[in-house]
Amino acid sequence: MPSEHAINLLRAIDRDAAKLGASSSGLERGFAALGFSILEVAEMHYWEVHYDTFREFLNAVAPKCGRSVDQLRRYFLTVRDLSDLFSRDQLETIGITKAMQLRQVKDYAIVLPPRVVLAALSPEATAKDLRKVIHDELKFPEDDQEGEWIDYEAEGYVDAERKATIDMGIYAAMHTEPVIQVNISKSAQMMEVLWRFAAEYASSHPEALPEVKP
């Protein structure tokens, strides 16, 4: 039997998503708050009330608020990765666009300079203003990151033996030189782990790779 809180939260997400989708103003704070709600659904598995997978839940929410599934995933990962630096109220004040910029910077800098924090929290400072302050303080590249945003679906239940194997593999990947730094976001850590897994497996089993035709 699902808890009343889980049911009410899912209803609130549907309501808030529809409100955001009907707005033409962007509602930066609204998407930050939505990110927190989706994060709770992810961590507590509340999506299981109505859906078979978390991805299915995101697929249902995305069209209601006019965002893609990948955008929603970035929103809730952003608030997750910044929640140790900023309170919920602060992140709602910052807004989701500036918050995503800060998440990138957190992967780059050990400590956010005071000017960066002030610009993030200032209602008068736009995302462009924050980007300039970040560049001036940290020499962080102003251009958008090159490459493609990827999201490899990897969620589900595993038995104790499989979990132990996965955990050991992640630990080994994290601690192989060069060691993956723990001061970057969890998402950045796991992306590096996934790349190391892929590189190791591809090099160990070249016979299984598709032929590259000239």
Identify whether the C-beta of residue 127 lies closer than 8 Å to the C-beta of residue 135: no
pTM: 0.69
pLDDT digits (tens, 9 = 90+) for 116-153: 999 999 999 999 999 999 988 887 765 555 666 666 76
d(CA 133, CA 112): 11
Residue 214 has pLDDT above 80, yes or no: no
d(CA 142, CA 197): 31
pLDDT digits (tens, 9 = 90+) for 10-67: 999 999 999 999 875 556 778 999 999 999 999 999 999 999 999 999 999 999 999 9
Q: Which residue has the tokens 């302050």?
A: 133
Identify whether the C-beta of residue 18 lies closer than 8 Å to the C-beta of residue 64: yes
Domain locations along the chain:
4-138, 160-205
pLDDT digits (tens, 9 = 90+) for 160-176: 899 899 999 999 999 98
The contacts of residue 190 (CB under 8 Å, 6+ apart) are 170
More confident residue, 190 or 62: 62
